[in-house]
Amino acid sequence: MSPNLLCSRDNFNNFYSEFDLKEKIGEGSFSDVWLCVQRNSGREYAAKVLKKDYGHTIDADKLNAISEVNVSNSVGKHPFLLMLKSAYHDKEKGKIILVTELMKKSLYDIIENGECPLSEYRIKTYMYQMLEGLRYLHENGFIHRDIKPENILLTSRDKILKIGDFGTTCQAIYGHQYKQYVATRWYRSPECLLTEGWYNSKMDIWATGCVLYEISTGHPLFDGRDENDQIEKIDRVLGSPDQRLINKFKKYKSDVFVARYETNKRHDRTTGVGLHTVYQPYRPAYDLIIDMIVYDPSKRYSANRLLRKSYFYEINNTAFEYKMREFEKLLRNKSIFNLSKIDEKSNTTINGQSSIIKKQGPGGDRIQNVQTHSENTETSANILSADINQEIDQPKLDKRKSNTHKISCSKTNIKKSIIVPEPENIPHGNRKQNTHNSSKDNTKDISSSKQMLTESVSTLNKGSVIKNIRNKFVNRQPFK
């Protein structure tokens, strides 16, 4: 389904005519997830019923304000992001129903079933898919804000991974203050804990690093009981931040910051045992996690930078990379198609404007001037390109065979040259004897050279520019 179709349906109340609800498969604070079957095809889907009451009527703007709908409309499909198939409005109950692809399980189920630690290659494929999904999400200007094992969904064979639950996803706006408490506490980055909503997309990278640790060891990295205990456990591993970073967080300090660095005046700096002690270098993806679990968000790697690491070389020529190749190819074709549409619109606009201009003056004087201007522009462009090609195609002078330097100034087909004699042309024996005569001759040559230069330059258009390209002079149109 096209993403724009989510907000342009005339009838949102046809969910129950298309789907049958079977059983509840999940429950959260803001929604319930049901297993539903499409009547026409018999395919199984997941229906997310939002608990908020939206009333008996809803317009497209109000529907698009829902985070999941906004992300699906803005980002579109991606092989590693779980986007909406369709959206419906239950008029009788005032509920919004969001239909997505049915994913059989999540990383949380794998952890709870005791399947962790996972194999090294399986961890690598999961990290590749997660980072590719986050990279695309971040490049489109969104922050997920709730990366955790429950929201990392898997297909029935546990090979293909998709990031889901965009209920807390927001647009990334530079210098904007967000909600303070969004991500689940165990996966919340230090800047989310110590500031009042001053963070960026790097908070998703921190949470992904925590997920990486959990599927590699089977237990969470930082399992704080509350926000204060959470930052305490982070400091025990990474150590307290330096004074520069503390001052940076202090500008937007939260209650956790005040309790830790201002109320408790005797708070001593914690050295920290280091990440390498809790996650040894021999473990899977160690080269990856050391650049993800970083206290300072400005030094934490982005998803794009992490994907360029040599750690992912093994993913080359696999089914996961082929999926991304096909997706990028689709994006390129889509962009080319959109560009062609823009060209068509621009041509239509130009034609429309020209007809209006023609009506404005008797006899079409204005449109005639516009056409004349365009013809002159094309002619000058053709002359310029011909001159440049001719200048570039000319062979270089051999200094050993030629004793003269030629300075040429071109304007259309008119070329004039100035021949300046070199000192080598004057015999050594006649230099002293002909000093007086040679000075007069040189004066004449110089004056004639100036006259020829003035003559050639005067033939150029006013405001034109002579650009030196590899010691060749080219007549160019002025920059506007």
Can you say which residues are annotated as belonging to the binding site for ATP?
48
What residue numbers does the annotated binding site cover?
48
User: End-to-end distance of the chain based on CA atoms, in angstroms?
Assistant: 45
Whether residue 74 contacts residue 140, with contact meaning beta carbons closer than 8 Å, is answered with yes
The CA radius of gyration of the chain, in Å to the nearest whole number, is 35
| CA atoms within 13 A of residue 285's CA, in its CB half-sphere | 30
Whether residue 96 contacts residue 89, with contact meaning beta carbons closer than 8 Å, is answered with yes
- Residue 256: name the closest of 312, 192, 329, 318 by CA: 192
Whether residue 81 contacts residue 204, with contact meaning beta carbons closer than 8 Å, is answered with no
Q: Using CA atoms, how far apart are residues 134 and 272, in angstroms rounded to an integer?
A: 29
Of the listed 109, 146, 158, 287, which one is catalytic?
146
Positive or negative, the CA dihedral 241, 172, 320, 101 is positive
| CA atoms within 13 A of residue 143's CA, in its CB half-sphere | 23
DSSP summary character for residue 479: P
Structure tokens at 362: 């008797």
Helix (H) or strand (E) holding 418: strand 414-421
146 is catalytic: yes
Structure tokens at 104: 């059989």
Structure tokens at 242: 């330096």
Which amino acid, one-letter code, is at 428? H
DSSP count for the chain of H helices, then E strands: 16, 14
Whether residue 128 contacts residue 320, with contact meaning beta carbons closer than 8 Å, is answered with yes
Q: Using CA atoms, how far apart are residues 444 and 451, in angstroms rounded to an integer?
A: 10
Residues marked as catalytic: 146
